[in-house]
Chain A
Amino acid sequence: QVQLQESGPGLVKPSGTLSLTCAVSPGSISNGHWWTWIRQSPGKGLEWIGEIFHSGSTNYNPSLKSRVTILVDKSENQFSLKMTSMTAADTAVYYCARNWNWGFDYWGQGTLVIVSS
């Protein structure tokens, strides 16, 4: 049973940078899956942010690509999300998840990020 755990600050200032980490356990992050970030704005639906493979290959949502960087740290068995130029519209619950058969089978519990001064 794979567990994913997001961590990071819950409050980001406007124009600031969001940094989140997702720890994966048990098992190796290098086991052949793509690892994903997804967010859900209050009262809105889900939005795919991007994904990373253990090799470092990434895919990003075209609408967010200019502001997003996803990295993998194989030594810590975790991957991370950086999103710059944050605005109130980026306030959301951020989830990390595992991509399996073009679906997302394991999810973290989610972390609420509020963009406010």
Chain B
Amino acid sequence: QSALTQPPSASGSPGQSVTISCTGTSSDVGAYNYVSWYQQHPGKAPKLIIYKVNERPSGVPDRFSGSKSGNTASLTVSGLQAEDEADYYCSSFVGGNNVDYVFGTGTKVTVL
């Protein structure tokens, strides 16, 4: 199972929005609404910020939103804040004969 494709980097000024894409296939992203997104600061464990494409866990600001169209999922961070500078990873459930999960290649978000 190949990693989902994300852009290596994205950036925006404080207050602006940034959108990160996550492209998979009809066997993963396109097949299930089980895409999740993670924020990872240096030296820390990833933190779940979106699950099931567009749902936010309790405590995650509504500045974070997710969507999906076909084989591509997207994460939008609105109203960028300095603390949003981090690496972001998507993940998708992969069903079929074997339960599997695949992660994205990761995107470094820089707040200018």
Q: Which of B1-43 contact A (CB under 8 A)?
A: 1, 3, 32, 34, 36, 38
C-alpha spacing A109/B46, complex, angstroms: 9
Interface residues of A, dominant DSSP: strand
Q: Given A45-B3, A62-B1, A63-B1, A102–B51 Cβ distance below 8 Å?
A: yes
Count A/B pairs, Cβ under 8 Å: 63
Does A7 touch B at the CB level, under 8 Å? no
A101 at the interface (CB under 8 A from B): yes
| Given A59-B98, A61-B100, A103-B91, A45 contacting B106 (CB threshold 8 A) | yes
25 A-B pairs within 8 Å (CB atoms) are namely A45-B3, A45-B104, A46-B38, A47-B103, A48-B101, A48-B103, A59-B98, A60-B98, A62-B98, A95-B46, A100-B51, A101-B55, A102-B36, A102-B51, A102-B93, A103-B34, A103-B36, A103-B48, A103-B51, A104-B38, A104-B46, A104-B91, A107-B47, A108-B45, A110-B45
